[in-house]
Structure 1
Amino acid sequence: MNLQVGGQKLRFLANGPSIPDELLMARDEGHVVFFCGAGVSRAFAGLPDFFGLADKIIDKLRVEPDSPACKLIQDARTSVPGAISIDRIFGLLEREFASSDIEEAVTSALKPPENCVLTAHKILLDLASTPQGTKLVTTNFDRLFDDCGRNLQSWQPPRLPDPLRSNEFNGIVYLHGRAKPDYGGAEGDGFVLSSSTFGHAYVSNGWATAFIRSILEQYLVVFVGYTADDAPVQYLLEALNTANRKKAFAFHAGNQKEAAARWRHKGVNAIPYDAPDNDHTALWDSLKAWAKRARDPEAWYEEIIATSQKGPAKLQPHERGQIAHIVSTHKGAEKFRLHEPPPPAEWLCVFDRYRRFAAPGNTDWLNPAKSYVNPFERYGLDSDPLPPSEHSPKQQPPSGAWDALEPNTLDVSTSSKDNLTAFHTQNPYYTPRLVSRLEQLGLWLARVCDQPAAIWWAVRQTFLHQNIQYYILQRFNTPDSQIHDNTRIAWRLLFENWEQPKNFYHDWFTLQSTIRKEGWSSSLIRKFGALLQPYLSIEPSPLDSPIPPNADTPQGHDRLIIRKGVTHPQPYKPITIPDEWCLPAVRILRQNLELALALEHEAGGYTYTKLAHYSETM
């Protein structure tokens, strides 16, 4: 059994960031805290960035151009981003001005315009809110989250909620202070703004450090609106880099390599997105789509699964990835299974990584130039690595490629003991049940087992779990079943084929070893005959296509799917039977010959079986 170890991601938009499944699910469960930085208030509300804020403060305070603070601001404009921290600049201003004057200048510069657009703040509040409450922390001084009109509890120093008490940690935490309602200065104990106030909050007194540590130990954290070099991030994480904490994530404008390099040493998982010309549309459109999912998860599931009716080949890679995200959990797989009408069987080619990464080929060997197809282009996910340009037919899928049909870490963590087998069992015919998510996919397969794509996929499998075979047989026996007799025959032949032993040479050498040690007996004669017993074999047609028949193809269409033949086990070495055991051996071999004749009659002359003509050839 291969265990899928997480790593699956969801992209809401083609050009948006890929958000890890674990983060999406943790948010739904109320286990995520959103940390919001200055970029949130710049996005739609149009509040100034650092340099715009600095210019307004300099003008408000009438700072001399040759002052140390002004010189440091000029150096910051031309230096490497993050080389000069904002707290140093305000530390220099504190040498010339009173803290209250600086805070009044800051709030004056941050005062939002009339009819300020609060789109970003509403999106973040939607994401931070679950039935368990709202958990949002901001290092911004503006009151725009309050202005959204949600009537949420607000917290600011010196009184902060206890993150260990979920009923208390509910609302908006203004970690570095909050402006007065008229933006005429700071409320309470003022702002955490300069080097001295940062040092007090995170080092000497450490109240902010204690608060953040409690959050990081209990929740997943998401940073939005920060860069890796922002002063709040530096203080928040560098002192806690060795702390025992859960994962932290940060949305980052840039490519994967750059994002990982900027955040990795802080112990944060970067979620990159493209932002050409400093345009963060891809981020905010994706967060808006995520917030829509957060507000009404049931409607989101319905909308996305409804798109699966088109078939995977008609969707974009990120849209197929959304279905992959859904079926990666029991809840999603169940909704997928119950949808009316059921999503087409062709989705098996997305769920099965061996089909996604199958070698390209032709669907019509009479017109190869016009029928060449690449399965990866039809079924690949946006999270998949690209296959090699020169694809070998025997090449395996990339290691770790997602596969819906194998257990994942979430399956194992939520499985009951009924899904696990024991060393001993009371029932020799007992087969451990599938994990609940895979069972839902098995029930879905039973609903679409009459579609050509289902048989096309199944004939390429070594075996299907007994429970899934049972669900398909149940579908055959339902009173309202409209399954064609040809389809029933095809599945039953597959079931029969899967029951045949596939380890002949191992069993043959074991038999020889036993005979040498114990001599011949009636039991070993029966074993001898059973090993040499021929059986009907079902394989993909030699005129194989790398993709299944069209889901809309009616039964009776001229499409080759399977080949039926007879397998005759061939011993590697002959075996000598003593005279006294020849008669019973001959009797058993005669039975095998009679069976072989019957099977050859069943398969002979109709080697290539058309889906449309099962009744004529089987």
Structure 2
Amino acid sequence: MTRHLIAVHDAAVNQDSGGNVWITGDVNLPAELLESHADGKLVLFVGAGASMGDPSNLPSFRELARQLADAARVPFDEDKALDLFLGSMPANFETHVHARRIVARPDSSFNPTHSALVRLASAPGRPRIVTTNFDDHLTTASTAALLPDVDVWVGPALPLGDDFSGIVHLHGSVLRPPAQLVLTDRDFGRAYLTDAWATRFLQKMFDEFTVLFVGYSHDDPIMRYLALGLPSKTRRYVLTHLPDDDKWNHLGIVPVPYPAVEHDHSALLAALEEWDRRARMGRLDHQTSMSEIVNAGPPLNPVDEDYVRQRLERADGALEFAQFARSVDWLRWAESVESFQRLFTGGADTEASSVLGNWFGQVYVADPALHGAALQTVQRLVGRPLHSVRSLCESSVSD
């Protein structure tokens, strides 16, 4: 069946197999993120925003600087870089000790975002999380979720950036001496410029992995240091509710937008949880989802549309689809699917295409009631007059 259809036409219908995938109705993820995650090649890079929700209730880096200014009884400078401001605190003020006290507050505990992040990171196997947060909520969330024990690394004693797993506290931890926290311009200078232990780790990490930032804003100090010292062609993304800020482009980071109203970031949490659910789906889960979607029929909502298209790039997904799809509406819909188009365009044959070729031949070409619809599909995809493809389909069935 497949070779007959490929032989009649050597033109190619070019369709990008990458693109974006609607993981929820609000969040459209780049396919590279999904693929890197499935391949165990994604690092989640977690910032202070992840620890701001209830019951963590910890400050952003800017709010931390503001609270430290209040404690030191000095005016907070809105226009000064945060690390420079913290480096200018009075000499008799123990900036690091006070910062540790604020972050280590006993009434703060992990929140649903921490749980979603550690589950998502561990879904493909070895979790890889890097955080500039000082709190240990990611570790406690991992323990509470009964996930396998993970290694925890705290700067400056870091693993190799291109071969690590676990949770890396890049800028220190409340569980270590306060002096090891990276807060001031002098601390950042040592970590990224003079001793450069953070830079060495990150350079290797960015060379090896795709990276997704979660919980950062463009004015977080680390963003300035990343822009100064790291390769410009690395694969960096950020989940953000402010995707139109030009500074992301300057930093070489691709924004992945989600909607947020005031302080409601529930769309971010929903996307992380759905991504994790998808990543953990087994064969029966996919069969159930495919059955429900196909039985409902096209047109599909964007989330279901992208899910089915993704599954049709795999042989097992194509088999699930072929098991349930029997209507002309689904044949018309399949005409826009790359793995189906390959049957008619001379593109590289795949297992998924072969499955769809058998589905097309057995369900549509071989059925007298659907034979006319099959001829019309061939005409549209091959570009030949209807009478010239009739014998093609007939010979395909007898093959």
Which TM-score band (shorter chain)? 0.7 to 0.9
Task: Give the letter aligned to residue 88 of structure 1.
Answer: L
Among 34, 44, 65, which residue is 1:54 paired with?
A: 65
Partner of 2:334: 351
Q: Does the aligned pair in 2 maintain the 1:154–1:172 contact within 8 Å?
A: yes
Among 209, 216, 230, which residue is 2:220 paired with?
A: 230
Among 107, 111, 129, which residue is 2:122 paired with?
A: 129
Q: Could you tell me how far apart the structure 2 residues matched to 1:293 and 1:343 are?
A: 26
Q: Please give the per-residue CA displacement for 1:382-402, whole angstroms capped at 9, x wherever unaligned.
A: xxxxxxxxxxxxxxxxxxxx7
Among 264, 267, 274, which residue is 2:252 paired with?
A: 267
Query: Structure 1 350/271 Cα, relative in aligned 2: closer, same or farther at 3 Å?
Result: farther
Gaps of 5+ in 2: 1-11
Q: Is 1:177 aligned to 2:177, yes or no?
A: no
1:97, CA displacement in angstroms? 3.5
Query: Structure 1 321/188 Cα, relative in aligned 2: closer, same or farther at 3 Å?
Result: same
2:212 aligned counterpart, secondary structure: strand
Q: Could you tell me how far apart the structure 2 residues matched to 1:85 and 1:146 are?
A: 30
Query: Structure 1 58/315 Cα, relative in aligned 2: closer, same or farther at 3 Å?
Result: same
1:284 aligned counterpart, secondary structure: helix
**Equivalences for residues 121-520 of structure 1 within 5 A:** 121-148=114-141, 149=143, 150=147, 151-165=149-163, 169-180=164-175, 186-187=176-177, 190-242=180-232, 245=234, 247-254=235-242, 258-259=244-245, 261-298=246-283, 300-313=285-298, 315-337=300-322, 339=323, 341-342=324-325, 344-353=327-336, 403-406=338-341, 434-446=349-361, 448-449=363-364, 450=367, 455-456=372-373, 458-462=375-379, 495-496=390-391
Matched residue count:
372
Among 70, 80, 84, which residue is 1:88 paired with?
A: 84
Q: Could you tell me how far apart the structure 2 residues matched to 1:227 and 1:116 are?
A: 22
1:10 aligned counterpart, secondary structure: strand
Q: Is 1:120 aligned to 2:103, yes or no?
A: no
Query: Structure 1 264/224 Cα, relative in aligned 2: closer, same or farther at 3 Å?
Result: same
Q: Does the aligned pair in 1 maintain the 2:65–2:86 contact within 8 Å?
A: no
2:130 aligned counterpart, secondary structure: strand
Q: Does the aligned pair in 2 maintain the 1:334–1:440 contact within 8 Å?
A: yes
Q: Could you tell me how far apart the structure 1 residues matched to 2:236 and 2:63 are?
A: 29
1:63, CA displacement in angstroms? 1.8
Scaled by the length of structure 2, what TM-score is found? 0.82
Q: Does the aligned pair in 2 maintain the 1:7–1:21 contact within 8 Å?
A: yes
Query: Structure 1 195/454 Cα, relative in aligned 2: closer, same or farther at 3 Å?
Result: farther
Q: Could you tell me how far apart the structure 2 residues matched to 1:342 and 1:235 are?
A: 52
1:43 aligned counterpart, secondary structure: coil
Q: Does the aligned pair in 1 maintain the 2:242–2:257 contact within 8 Å?
A: yes
Q: Please give the per-residue CA displacement for 1:492-515, whole angstroms capped at 9, x wherever unaligned.
A: 995416699xxxxxxxxxxxxxxx
Ranked by relative contact order (alpha carbons within 8 Å, sequence separation 6 or more), the top structure is 2
Task: Give the letter aligned to residue 272 of structure 1.
Answer: P
- Which has the greater radius of gyration? 1
1:451, CA displacement in angstroms? 9.4
Q: Could you tell me how far apart the structure 2 residues matched to 1:265 and 1:134 are?
A: 29
Q: Could you tell me how far apart the structure 2 residues matched to 1:237 and 1:312 are?
A: 48
1:454, CA displacement in angstroms? 7.4
1:46 aligned counterpart, secondary structure: coil
Gaps of 5+ in 1: 77-82, 181-185, 354-401, 412-420, 422-431, 466-490, 501-618
Q: Could you tell me how far apart the structure 2 residues matched to 1:20 and 1:3 are?
A: 19
Task: Give the letter aligned to residue 83 of structure 2.
Answer: D
Partner of 1:43: 53
1:222 aligned counterpart, secondary structure: strand
Task: Give the letter aligned to residue 170 of structure 1.
Answer: S
Query: Structure 1 145/492 Cα, relative in aligned 2: closer, same or farther at 3 Å?
Result: same
2:340 aligned counterpart, secondary structure: coil
**Equivalences for residues 513-592 of structure 1 within 5 A:** none
Task: Give the letter aligned to residue 240 of structure 2.
Answer: H
Scaled by the length of structure 1, what TM-score is found? 0.54
Query: Structure 1 306/96 Cα, relative in aligned 2: closer, same or farther at 3 Å?
Result: farther
Query: Structure 1 238/462 Cα, relative in aligned 2: closer, same or farther at 3 Å?
Result: farther
Q: Could you tell me how far apart the structure 1 residues matched to 2:371 and 2:222 are?
A: 54
Partner of 2:9: none
Q: Could you tell me how far apart the structure 2 residues matched to 1:154 and 1:161 are?
A: 10
Partner of 1:28: 38
2:379 aligned counterpart, secondary structure: coil
Q: Please give the per-residue CA displacement for 1:212-237, whole angstroms capped at 9, x wherever unaligned.
A: 11011111111111112211122124
Task: Give the letter aligned to residue 116 of structure 1.
Answer: S
Query: Structure 1 41/458 Cα, relative in aligned 2: closer, same or farther at 3 Å?
Result: farther
Q: Could you tell me how far apart the structure 2 residues matched to 1:112 and 1:314 are?
A: 51
Q: Please give the per-residue CA displacement for 1:90-116, whole angstroms capped at 9, x wherever unaligned.
A: 1112x4245xx3222112212355473
Q: Could you tell me how far apart the structure 1 residues matched to 2:313 and 2:53 are?
A: 33
1:405 aligned counterpart, secondary structure: helix
Q: Does the aligned pair in 1 maintain the 2:61–2:220 contact within 8 Å?
A: no
Q: Does the aligned pair in 1 maintain the 2:112–2:269 contact within 8 Å?
A: no
Q: Could you tell me how far apart the structure 2 residues matched to 1:463 and 1:85 are?
A: 59
Q: What percentage of residue pairs aligned between the two structures are identical?
A: 25
Q: Could you tell me how far apart the structure 1 residues matched to 2:327 and 2:97 are?
A: 63
Q: Could you tell me how far apart the structure 2 residues matched to 1:452 and 1:112 are?
A: 71
Q: Could you tell me how far apart the structure 1 residues matched to 2:80 and 2:30 are?
A: 32
Q: Could you tell me how far apart the structure 1 residues matched to 2:371 and 2:177 are?
A: 65
Q: Does the aligned pair in 2 maintain the 1:138–1:173 contact within 8 Å?
A: yes
Query: Structure 1 24/131 Cα, relative in aligned 2: closer, same or farther at 3 Å?
Result: closer
Higher helix share: 2
Q: Could you tell me how far apart the structure 1 residues matched to 2:353 and 2:52 are?
A: 45
